[in-house]
Structure 1
Amino acid sequence: MKYAQINNELHDEHMDDVVAMLCRKESNPANCDDIRRAVGYFWPYRYENLDLPGGLNAAVSLKNLGVDHETVVSSILSCYVLKDVISLEQIAHEFGDNVAVLVKSVRWMNALNESVDDVISDQKQAEYLRRMVLAVVEDVRAVLIKLVFRLERLKRLVKKEHSPTQQSIAKETLSLYAPLANRLGIGQIKWEMEDLAFRCLNPQAYQRIASALEEKRKDREDYIHSFVKELKKSLRKEKVRDFEVFGRPKHIFSIWKKMYKKQIQFEDLFDVRAVRVVVNRVTDCYKVLGVVHSNWKHIPSEFDDYIANPKNNGYQSLHTAVIGAGGKAVEVQIRTRTMNEHAEYGVAAHWRYKEGQTEDSQFQRTINALRQMLETTSVEDKGSADILSTELFSDRVFARTPKGKIFELPQGSTVLDFAYYVHTDIGHRCRGAKVDGRIVPLTFELKSGSEVEILTTREPRPSRDWLNSNLGYLHTSRARSKVRNWFKIQDHTQHIHDGKVICDRELKRLNATHIDIESVSKKLKLDNTNELYASLGRNDVSNAQFVSA
């Protein structure tokens, strides 16, 4: 059986053959035992609901990415059909806590799918959703597993007729999962997801671009072959060593996005003809760039140095475009082998290891501009692969309403803070809350991924206790400010009432009820009568000052 083959025929193979494939390159017998037992759990259910991706296909896809055995095992046990077959407690007992945490996170993401339909069309909510996913998962490998499951789901859906389910899954993919793959730097999965989702959503546009690519494929391949041959010759002449030069595939969704954004036709694209150069060292990258610009006229507007200025997801490469033979534009990407592997596999590259080799410190980097951080720790677990742990958004929490709307709050926020983030009036009328269906006190501290239902009364009745920091009702200055403003308004009304009583009493005592109060207000440099009453009520204006005026 071909190792890279991924299709439903896996279900028809002998179990031992599947296990052997998944255990390839595993030197630790204990790891293979784990994989065998996980496959054993799935095997009796392998023909159930074939419309959904199976654990075996996901496991093979992940194995092709070079992940560790825990990720392979977790992908099998995360399959939909095993949700009610094996509990998290049983998984922890049989396969260890790391696998249980991974399966728990994937199951949480599966459940999340049911409540996001109403928010993915809102760009801000979609971003909050992506952040929440990365904040909730305790191990980033769970996101990788979920991405592979989604890719497998799309492969099935694209073969079926147009349906609401197909459209919903495709939209969700472009809003949530493809950006997550990009944020983790896994270009290989991102591109395939985007093309499949785009094919579901806009089959006509997909087909037009696919046909345009195919129509001139032979001419384009011949042109690229000639360009590559000439470039290799020039690189050897300049004594550049250990390089690879090859044409790179174009992805239909990225072509469509560029055409749509720039409002240009397929023929006007610079990077339909594209070449990649891979070298060993960063200095070689710039040396190759010099060779390219010396031999072909470059297009200044198309040059980007992502080595000196990496993208937010850690992507590094030199991009340039030059005018080749016949006046045709050719895009050239230049990068090191490490950069190339990171661009293709992202965080998955952490597990593309050789036995006993520690991680490359270059992979320890910020993966986006929102303080997401992937921290790697070399852990020797009976010869298994390095474990990747995460500290994502450690200063933020993401919680959602029962309708799926997501709010971003500072770490330490309570359910009462959440009520004020939803709406000021909801906060004022808050009298209780449920978190994930369980009633909690107003001081309950939120965790990312929680579903929060606010219980309210008919009339607003904030408590002054809420402003007492020692009681722990409110963590955010935003919510405290709203409570203070409410009491300020209520106090202002009371001050006006008290001041009018004082005013009437003093005028009656002085037998001066005929005096124009408005003129008195102006003498005291107050805007109007209500301001006079409020000042008297607050004692900002004394009785003596009022009488003398």
Structure 2
Amino acid sequence: MIRQYELVERVKAYDPSADEDLLNRAYVFSLKAHGSQTRASGDPYFSHPLEVAGILTQMKLDAGTIATALLHDTVEDTVATLEDIERVFGREIARLVDGVTKLSRLELNSEQAKQAENFRKLVLAMSEDIRVLLVKLADRLHNMRTLHHIGKPEKRKRIARETLEIYAPLAERIGMHQIKDELEDLAFAQINTEARDSILAQLSRLRNEGEDRVARIITELRETLTAEGIPNVLVSGREKTAYSIWRKLQRKNVSFEQLSDIMAFRITVESLPECYQALGVIHAAYPVVPGRFKDYISTPKPNGYRSLHTGVIGPGRNRIEVQIRTSDMHEIAELGVAAHWSYKQGQPRNGGREYRWLRELLDILEHAQKPEEFLEHTKLELFQDQVFCFTPKGDLIALPRGATPVDFAYAVHSEVGDHCVGAKINGRMLPLRTQLQNGDQVDIITSKAQTPVPGWERFVVTGKARARIRKFLRTQQRAQYIELGRAILQRQFKTEGYEFSDKALEAVVKIFQQPSVEDLLAGVGSGLHSGREVFHGVFPGHKPPVKDADERAATAPKPKPKRKDAPLPIRGLIPGMAVHYARCCHPLPGDRIVGIVTTGKGVTIHTIDCETLESFHESPERWIDVAWDIESERAEEHVGRVSLVVANEPGSLGTLSTVIGKNGGNISNLKITSRNVDFFELLIDVEVKDAKHLTNIMAALRATPAISSVDRARG
């Protein structure tokens, strides 16, 4: 454990003016509060807040942040209260500690609801002071480093999944790539141990084979730059993390050996002009790989990241990635917002509201109906690769990959999104469902008469857009339910010989646990309460007139029809029409799909990129706009087809089936299409839940040494 004087010396080393008394008081207060508590590892509990404080000293953060780290678990896990913290340390430290503290005494009906409420509180707190997030990330990092001490595997996986879905993307959003990489790798080790071990084994092999090669590349790059008059240049090599490689294997149809940027070489120069000078030298000396150049200096990422990226066929004909930046850019690349929040700034600091992504989380928070919905939309907002597009004025808008003009419109402003009727992309009018590409200039066309369309929800990908559309549809639906509920009650009252009025319902609102008359009417319209129930609530002593036998027989309730199977999980289909999935493209939930009406067969569902669709271009009347219903409760296995090239060696087919089985897939059919001395070529049908499930299986297969290539089969 770090001793008290050692912690103070660490802070004083980079900030001589730090409040030494504050640090000493926080250290002693936390030590006494946690007392004899221990962690799952058996270590004293106090070691945890101390290690969190140690992580934050490496970022050179101010004394207030270090004190918050020491105190962050006292309110949640000891008898200390927020009032105690405020009395001893002041209002600012108490506010920071409260922001990091979880809602431990919350009465919620599910673990997910509790997680969502805790995250909601964190978002509100870090919007006021971003240091709350810095402490929370350091807290999560130390918890992940010691996660292996937790006995229950399912609990370890739950915490790891939460880290991967929420905390690692948050670290990336504020530019803290060091912490993001470590969080991802530690979570990956728990969620998919076999895939990580396989990637690490192959990295180790490549490292052993290419140790001299890396040193030669660094030496040659340095000599090339120095010879062209760039002084004091630093060149280093950095290996990509196992999780980063896994994500690339998921996205790209390449084997492990074909990945060109497993090693990235960083060139650090003294000034901004030298960045572009170094880029010119590298491009002049080595052939450029097309499509690999990115200028994040002239167009920085939203988290402040600045650097030049390029791919070249470098020294020794090796295909490499090169990053060029200054030392200041490098500090921001590694520490992100922490670099701005360190002691040395000496400027008044804002909260977190200056970050666009955080303002959008607050917007989602305002429009989400339930905590779980907020969490779902937040994950959409955080956990995706990005594309960068421009407004007509040249303002940069960062969006998730796959975003559409509707997502862009909502990112500009909620009102622009609500009234969006069309979009010009690079000067051309294109459909609103068009997926945007890096560098697109988007001009949104609006109309005051326009309102959000239910169909937009099928193709938008940002949490903000989905939350706004759902809120509008809920409001519109509520109005319809109120109108329907009023009509049902008017008919019920008239049948019983009474005149209906809203005032009559005021007395029974509380009986039905509704906040207002309108809510009660909406409940009747949506089927939550029947008209008869509400009528008898208003007139509890009312007795219907006695009917004779013939009347009773005529009005007797008819037996309910037997429940049929749940409908297919596809929206936009004509009720009762026969449906089947095309065998040419094997569509899966998550794919963009289209329906083709076929005489005598009903509707055939194809993926939007299926080559078979070309034969229907002359028959637009046969096309049906359909989409997967992500809210469908129907549990159904779908078949995805993959083509593989597998090494012709003992055990390779066994390894193949084991990998598919461990990742939750089931082989329903296997066909060897070609076989020679070295390789098999196979077609395999795998039962999966959706396209993402199949992508994960394919990534796991690509990480397996016995498998040369994996692709989703078409045809």
Gaps of 5+ in 1: 1-8, 373-391, 412-416, 430-453, 467-478, 483-549
Structure-2 residue corresponding to 1:49: 38
**Aligned pair in 2 of structure 1 residues 181, 69: CA closer, same or farther (>3 Å)?**
same
1:278 aligns with 2:268: yes
1:292–1:408: structure 2 CA closer, same or farther, 3 Å change rule?
A: closer
- What is the rounded CA distance, in whole Å, between the counterparts of 1:50 and 1:98 in structure 2? 28
CA distance in 1 between counterparts of 2:107 and 2:272 reads 42
1:60 is aligned to 2:60: no
* More divergent stretch after superposition (214-223 vs 401-410): 401-410
- Is the contact between residue 400 and residue 406 of structure 1 (CA under 8 Å) also seen in structure 2? no
Contact residue 68 and residue 97 of structure 2 kept, 8 A: yes
The alpha-carbon distance between structure 1 residues 70 and 357, as it changes in their structure 2 partners (threshold 3 A), is closer
Partners of 1:116 and 1:342 lie apart in 2 by 39
Letter in 2 for 1:157: L
1:400: Cα distance to partner?
A: 6.2
Alpha-carbon distance, 1:282 to partner: 2.2
Q: Which residue of structure 1 aligns with residue 512 of structure 2?
A: 457
Q: CA RMSD in A?
A: 4.6
Unpaired segments ≥5 residues, structure 2: 379-413, 416-470, 484-508, 524-715
CA drift of 1:49 comes to 3.0
CA shift for structure 1 position 313:
2.2
Specify whether residues 162 and 302 from structure 1 end up closer, same or farther in structure 2 by C-alpha distance, changes over 3 A only: farther
> How far apart, in 2, do the equivalents of 1:418 and 1:85 lie?
45
CA distance in 1, matches of 2:112, 2:99: 22
Alignment-derived partner of residue 78 in structure 1:
72
Instruction: Quote how far apart the aligned CAs of 1:455 are.
Output: 8.6
Q: Which residue of 1 aligns with 2:215?
A: 225
Alignment of 1:169-184 (within 5 A): 169-184=159-174
Which deviates more, 281-290 or 454-463? 454-463
- TM-fit CA distance, 1:184: 1.0
User: Which gives a bigger RCO, structure 1 or 2 (Cα 8 Å, sep 6+)?
Assistant: 1
More helix by share: 1
**What is the CA–CA distance in structure 1 between the aligned matches of 2:110 and 2:337, rounded to whole Å?**
25
SS in 2 for 1:174: helix
The alpha-carbon deviation at position 339 of structure 1 amounts to: 1.8
Q: 1:42 to 1:66 in 2, by over 3 A?
A: same
Q: Which residue is 2:134 aligned to?
A: 144
Q: Which residue of 2 aligns with 1:434?
A: none
* Counterpart in the other structure of 2:478: 424
Match of 2:257 among 267, 273, 278: 267
Matches within 5 A, 1:492-503: none
Answer yes or no: is the 8 Å Cα contact 1:115–1:403 preserved in 2: no
Cα pair 1:307 1:316 within 8 Å, conserved:
yes
Q: Could you tell me which residue of structure 1 aligns to residue 310 of structure 2?
A: 320
| Structure 1 Cα separation of the partners of residues 104 and 64 of structure 2 | 19
Give the corresponding residue for 1:27. Answer: 16
Task: Kindly state the Cα deviation for residue 274 of structure 1 after the two structures are TM-superposed.
Answer: 1.5
Greater mean alpha carbon deviation, residues 311-320 or residues 255-264: 311-320
The separation in 1 between residues aligned to 2:166 and 2:123, in whole angstroms, is 11
How many residues were matched structurally?
Answer: 407
Q: Which amino acid aligns with 1:28?
A: S
In the superposition, relative to structure 1, how do residues 223 and 269 fare at CA in structure 2: closer, same or farther (>3 Å)?
A: same
Pair 1:214-2:204 in alignment: yes
SS in 2 for 1:300: coil
Change in 2 beyond 3 A, CA 1:201/1:110:
farther
Q: Deviations over 1:184-227 (max 9, x none)?
A: 11111100000000001011111111111112214433222211
Q: Is 1:289 the counterpart of 2:279 in the alignment?
A: yes
Q: CA–CA distance in 2 between the matches of 1:175 and 1:347?
A: 20
Structure with higher Rg: it is 1
The aligned runs of 1:86-97 (5 Å cut-off) are: 86-97=80-91
Q: Give me the whole-angstrom Cα distance separating, in 2, the residues matched to 1:143 and 1:180.
A: 8
What displacement does 1:163 show? Answer: 0.8
| 2:341 alignment partner in structure 1 | 351
1:86-136 superposed Cα distances (whole Å, 9 cap, x missing partner): 22222222222221111010014777998885379xxxx98x997874344
- 3-state DSSP of counterpart to 1:33: helix
User: What's the offset of the Cα at 1:257?
Assistant: 0.4
The residue type paired with residue 101 of structure 2 is: R
CA contact (8 A) 1:102 1:141 kept: yes
Q: Is the 1:22–1:59 contact (alpha carbons within 8 Å) kept by the matching residues of 2?
A: no
How many angstroms apart in 2 are the aligned matches of 1:401 and 1:232? Answer: 56
Distance 1:48 1:169, change over 3 A: same
The equivalences for 1:119-130 within 5 A come to none
Separation in structure 2 between the aligned mates of residue 141 and residue 210 of structure 1, nearest angstrom: 34
Distance 1:326 1:166 in 2: 44
Residue 150 of structure 1: CA displacement?
Answer: 0.7
Matches within 5 A, 1:109-120: 117-118=111-112
Q: 1:109–1:175: structure 2 CA closer, same or farther, 3 Å change rule?
A: farther
Q: CA deviation at 1:333?
A: 0.5
> Are the equivalent residues in 1 in contact too, given 2:76–2:102 (CA < 8 A)?
no
Q: Is the 8 A contact 1:419 1:426 kept in 2?
A: no
**Matched AA of 2:299:** N
Distance change in 2, residues 1:56/1:154 (3 Å): same
Give the AA of the match of 1:397.
Answer: E
SS at 1:332 equivalent: strand
> 2:328 corresponds to which residue?
338
The superposition leaves residues 350-383 of structure 1 with CA deviations (integer Å, 9 ceiling, x where unpaired) of 13344x755999x9996445756xxxxxxxxxxx
Q: 1:250 to 1:38 in 2, by over 3 A?
A: same
Moved more, 37-46 or 417-426: 417-426
The 1:281/1:136 distance shift into structure 2, 3 A limit, reads same
Equivalent position of 2:301 in the other structure: 311
The residue matched to 1:246 in structure 2 has which SS?
Answer: strand
Q: Which residue of 1 aligns with 2:366?
A: 397
Name the residue aligned to 1:250: 240
Shift of 1:159: 5.5
Alignment deviations for residues 436-480 of structure 1 (CA, whole Å, 9 cap, x no partner): xxxxxxxxxxxxxxxxxx99938997559x9xxxxxxxxxxxx9x
Aligned 1:467-486 pairs, distance under 5 A: none
Q: TM-score, normalised by structure 1?
A: 0.63
The secondary structure found in structure 1 opposite 2:299 is: coil
SS in structure 1 of the partner of residue 196 of structure 2: helix
Identity %: 33
The code of the aligned residue for 2:325 comes to R
1:315 is paired with a residue of what secondary structure? coil
Task: Say which is worse superposed, 184-193 or 215-224, in terms of deviation.
Answer: 215-224
